[in-house]
C-alpha cells in the first residue's frame, strides 16, 4: 500500500471525478484500476519523480463480465450528473465539459482480445490485450490524499500496455513511446531502493 499526495493540478481536475467513480463502482459492484497518464503520474510520485508531461484526461480499466454491466456503469455515471456522452467515442464520457474519462472494459466483453461497441452511428474497436494480466499481477493499491484507495497500474504493467497500444495504432500513439522511454531512463532510480534492500 502506497500513500501519494496529489499535485494541485490533479486535485482540482480529478478529485470530483474520483468521488463519482468511487460511488458509481461501489453502487454497481464493478472493480477498476487506473491506467494511462494519471496512473503514470501516481506511480512516478510513489518514487519521488515528476512526470515529463501533464495529462488532462483520465483512463480507467473497468472489470465487467458482460456488456450490460458496462452500460450499467456508464448510465450510473450519467445519472450522477456532470458526465455526458461524447459523439463518435463510445468508450468516453466527458466530465463538466472539460475532462475526458475513458472507460476501457475488460474481463468478459472481449473477443480475441478486442472489444467492439456499436452505439448509434459510432462503432468503436478497442484492443485490451494485457488488461487482465495487469489487473492480476501489475497493479498496486494506492491511497490518494488519505481519501481514495484505488488500484493503480504499476510501471512495468504500464510499459506493457503502452507497447501493445503503440503496436495497435502506431500513427496515433507516439506519446506512448515517449512515456516508455522516460520510464526506462529513470527505472534504475525508481527501483534502486528495492534492489538494494
Distance CA 130, CA 171 (A): 21
Instruction: Identify the band that residue 120 occupies on the pLDDT scale cut at 50, 70 and 90.
Output: low
Sorted by where each begins, the domain ranges of the chain are: 2-187
Q: How far apart are CA 80 and CA 78, in angstroms?
A: 5
Instruction: Report d(CA 66, CA 110) in Å as an integer.
Output: 9
Residues 117, 124: contact at Cβ < 8 Å? yes
- Please say whether the structural domain 2-187 has been given the CATH code 3.30.460.40: yes
State the chain's mean pLDDT as an integer: 88
Residue 167 CB partners (closer than 8 Å, separation 6+): none
The C-alpha atoms of residue 135 and residue 147 are separated, in whole angstroms, by 22
* CA 60 to chain CA mean position, Å: 3
Amino acid 4: pLDDT? 93
Q: Where are the alpha helices (DSSP H) in the chain?
A: 8-28, 36-46, 67-80, 131-137, 155-168, 174-196
Q: Where does the pLDDT of residue 115 fall: very low under 50, low under 70, confident under 90, or very high at 90 and above?
A: confident
Q: With 70 as the cut, is the pLDDT of residue 196 above it? A: no
Instruction: Please give the average per-residue pLDDT across 75-91, as a whole number.
Output: 92
- Which pLDDT band holds residue 145 (cuts at 50, 70, 90)? very high
Residue 166 has pLDDT above 90, yes or no: no
Amino acid at each position: 500500500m502506497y500513500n501519494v499526495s496529489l499535485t494541485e493540478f490533479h486535485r482540482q481536475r480529478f478529485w470530483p471525478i474520483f468521488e463519482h467513480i468511487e460511488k458509481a463502482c461501489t453502487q454497481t459492484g464493478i472493480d477498476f484500476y487506473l491506467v494511462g497518464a494519471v496512473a503514470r503520474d501516481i506511480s512516478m510520485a510513489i518514487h519521488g519523480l515528476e512526470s515529463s508531461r501533464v495529462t488532462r484526461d483520465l483512463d480507467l480499466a473497468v472489470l465487467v463480465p458482460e456488456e450490460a454491466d458496462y452500460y450499467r456503469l456508464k448510465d450510473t455515471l450519467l445519472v450522477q450528473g456532470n458526465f455526458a456522452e461524447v459523439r463518435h467515442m463510445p468508450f468516453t464520457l466527458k466530465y463538466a465539459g472539460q475532462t475526458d474519462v475513458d472507460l476501457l472494459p475488460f474481463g468478459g466483453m472481449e473477443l480475441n482480445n478486442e472489444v467492439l461497441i456499436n452505439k448509434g452511428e459510432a462503432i468503436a474497436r478497442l484492443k485490451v490485450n494485457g488488461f487482465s494480466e495487469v489487473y492480476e499481477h501489475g497493479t498496486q493499491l494506492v491511497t490518494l490524499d488519505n481519501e481514495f484507495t484505488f488500484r493503480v497500474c504499476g510501471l512495468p504493467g504500464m510499459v506493457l500496455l503502452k507497447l501493445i497500444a503503440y503496436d495497435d495504432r502506431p500513427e496515433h500513439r507516439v506519446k506512448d513511446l515517449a512515456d516508455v522511454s522516460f520510464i526506462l531512463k529513470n527505472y534504475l532510480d525508481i527501483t534502486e531502493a528495492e534492489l538494494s534492500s
